[in-house]
Amino acid sequence: MRVENDMTNETWGRVREILREEVGQNNYRNWIEPLEFAELEAGVATFLVPTNFMGNWVERNFGDKILRRMIELGEKVSRLVFVVAETGRAKPAAAKAANGAAPAAARARAESEELPGAPLDPRFTFDSFVVGKPNQLAHAAARRVAEGGPVTFNPLFLYGGVGLGKTHLMHAIAWEIQARNPELRVVYLSAEQFMYRFVQALREKQMMDFKHLFRSVDVLMVDDVQFIAGKDSTQEEFFHTFNALVDQNKQIIISADRAPGEIKDLEDRIKSRLQSGLVVDLHPTDYELRLGILQTKVARYREQYPDLVIADGVLEFLAHRISTNVRVLEGALMRLFAFASLVGQEITLEKAQDALSDILRASDRKVTVEEIQRKVAEHYNIRMSDMIGPKRQRSIARPRQVAMYLAKTMTTRSLPDIGRRFGGRDHTTVMHGVRRIDELKVGDTQLAEDLEMLRRSLEE
């Protein structure tokens, strides 16, 4: 037994190192590092965790990964068990959590109480949320709710496509409320977790406890509520919880991937309840917001790694080329950071394109140069033949440059290739055109708007 445990301790050390790479530094610090390996007996590996919630969370989110890696390293393990450590043994996750972005009191509280919620991500605060046109309203509403005061919007319903910041905003609200009012019981969880807890309570005949727990919170936040569509008894319970809390004037915040009315298989009475407060959506990101997010993240990263050098134009290129989903954008940036730290060199546009070729391909909208030319010609009311013809007067040349610019930023075509498609022009002419538009758009808001509008309609 002793020998086996020593071996496993060593394996666990190696598994942790692999997971550090796999799940990222923040996840690692929050969830993996605080785990304490206890023993491996009869195929069951036991870990000590600071709280039940943490155990559940790790099991659900990282259990498979841990198990797989242990097996790969030769351990005879078939199951993981997470046991709450006696006080003072394992350290609470949040006390060691990432960059200190979240208020310390709130962190301590979130960990210390057995509320029925999921842990909050310390990175998701208002501080780290970049505001732009597409998310302005959602952000303002979230701020208002987080500031407390009389409950005016109930529920606050946030919706939007994948990776646009719904979860981030919800966590930010939770952190802020807890920082302002540490005595409030704020519970954040996904609709899936709500169902999981509900089913567990049913199975273990603890419905009274379940009801009591959920009705005793001050702020309830349920993420991805579309998940309960079609799940009748969970919907029913959710409806009752919702009503009980609203009756007590407790704040409810809900998110989903679409507007309440568009969630299929959701009971009408729930739809109408969800619509009864404030419904705001997070629009797909635009170029400016994407660039803002990239710049903010690079600035943060540089605080830790001042040696990072990213050439001019790289972030602009990414903001142009990567889809509206912020998660993909972040993934690309993380890859660049990793790349930079490995090769220790400046990240040029070329290197970025190289390192991110798969991501760029995946988010390639496959717009053709010809489509761009047509769209631009239509927009500026010039003929296609003029777009590729020799005329040089400004009323023709400027739209042509706009089209060249869009061709360069929206397709993977090289400059000579683009030149060929513009009536056999030289690549330096294309380069000049692209640069000219790049310069002009800074001071010329009309041009900037035209570009955005054209891009959007080409992306559709």
Ligand X SMILES: Nc1ncnc2c1ncn2[C@@H]1O[C@H](COP(=O)(O)OP(=O)(O)OP(=O)(O)O)[C@@H](O)[C@H]1O
Give whichever of 167 and 373 is closer to ligand X, judged by the CB atom: 167
How many helices and strands, by DSSP H and E, does the chain display?
21, 8
CA distance 428 to 430: 5
* Concatenated DSSP letters of 417-458: HHHHHTTS--HHHHHHHHHHHHHHHHH-HHHHHHHHHHHHHH
| Amino acid letter for position 384 | M
CA distance 300 to 123: 12
Is residue 205 a known part of a binding site? no
Q: Which residues of 144-155 are buried (b: 16+ CB within 10 A; e: fewer)?
A: ebbeeeebebbb
Q: Considering only residues 175 through 234, tell me which ones interact with ligand X, judged by CB under 6 A.
A: 224
Q: Which of 38, 138, 164, 219 binds ligand X (CB under 6 A)?
A: 164
For residue 403, give the nearest of 418, 425, 385 by alpha carbon.
Answer: 418
The least CB distance from residue 135 to ligand X, in Å, is 5
Residues pairing with 49 in the sheet:
84
167 binds ligand X (CB under 6 A): yes
The least CB distance from residue 326 to ligand X, in Å, is 4
The least CB distance from residue 13 to ligand X, in Å, is 29
- Name the CA dihedral angle for 261, 267, 269, 270, rounded to a multiple of 10 degrees: -70
Instruction: Print the binding letters for residues 277-316 with ligand X: x by CB under 6 A, - otherwise.
Output: ----------------x-----------------------
The least CB distance from residue 7 to ligand X, in Å, is 37
Structure-token pair, residue 259 = 């507007």
Q: Considering only residues 13 through 52, tell me which ones interact with ligand X, judged by CB under 6 A.
A: none
327 binds ligand X (CB under 6 A): yes
Report the residue number whose CB is nearest to ligand X: 165
| Amino acid letter for position 38 | A
Give whichever of 7 and 131 is closer to ligand X, judged by the CB atom: 131
Q: Which of 33, 236, 288, 330 binds ligand X (CB under 6 A)?
A: 330
CA angle 422, 362, 430 (to 5 degrees): 20
104 binds ligand X (CB under 6 A): no
Instruction: Please state whether beta strands 156-160 and 79-84 pair in parallel, antiparallel, or not at all (unpaired).
Output: unpaired
Q: Considering only residues 125 through 144, tell me which ones interact with ligand X, judged by CB under 6 A.
A: 128-130, 135
| Amino acid letter for position 364 | D
Q: Which residues contact 401 (CB under 8 A, 6 or more apart)?
A: 433, 434, 436, 437
CA distance 273 to 261: 11
Give whichever of 83 and 298 is closer to ligand X, judged by the CB atom: 298
For residue 45, give the nearest of 59, 31, 57 by alpha carbon.
Answer: 59
Give whichever of 164 and 406 is closer to ligand X, judged by the CB atom: 164
338 binds ligand X (CB under 6 A): no
Give whichever of 338 and 343 is closer to ligand X, judged by the CB atom: 338
Is residue 163 a known part of a binding site? yes
Structure-token pair, residue 323 = 């889809």
166 binds ligand X (CB under 6 A): yes
Structure-token pair, residue 360 = 């760029």
Q: Which of 168, 231, 400, 455 binds ligand X (CB under 6 A)?
A: 168
The least CB distance from residue 387 to ligand X, in Å, is 37
CA distance 314 to 299: 14
Is residue 166 a known part of a binding site? yes
Give whichever of 319 and 326 is closer to ligand X, judged by the CB atom: 326
DSSP 8-state secondary structure symbol assigned to residue 219: E
User: Hunting for tokens 């790790």 — which residue is that?
Assistant: 58
Size of the site for ligand X (CB under 6 A): 19
Give whichever of 164 and 252 is closer to ligand X, judged by the CB atom: 164
Is residue 277 a known part of a binding site? no
For residue 380, give the nearest of 391, 365, 368, 366 by alpha carbon.
Answer: 391
Q: Which of 50, 103, 122, 163 binds ligand X (CB under 6 A)?
A: 163
Give whichever of 168 and 375 is closer to ligand X, judged by the CB atom: 168
322 binds ligand X (CB under 6 A): no
CA distance 90 to 34: 6
Using the contact rule CB under 6 A, the part of the chain among 301-309, 324-332, 336-344, 398-406 near ligand X is: 324-332
326 binds ligand X (CB under 6 A): yes
Instruction: Print the binding letters for residues 244-263 with ligand X: x by CB under 6 A, - otherwise.
Output: -------------x------
Q: Which residues are annotated as a binding site?
A: 163, 165-167
* Residues annotated in a binding site for ATP: 163, 165-167
Chain residues in the site for ligand X (CB under 6 A): 124, 128-130, 135, 160, 162-168, 224, 257, 293, 326-327, 330
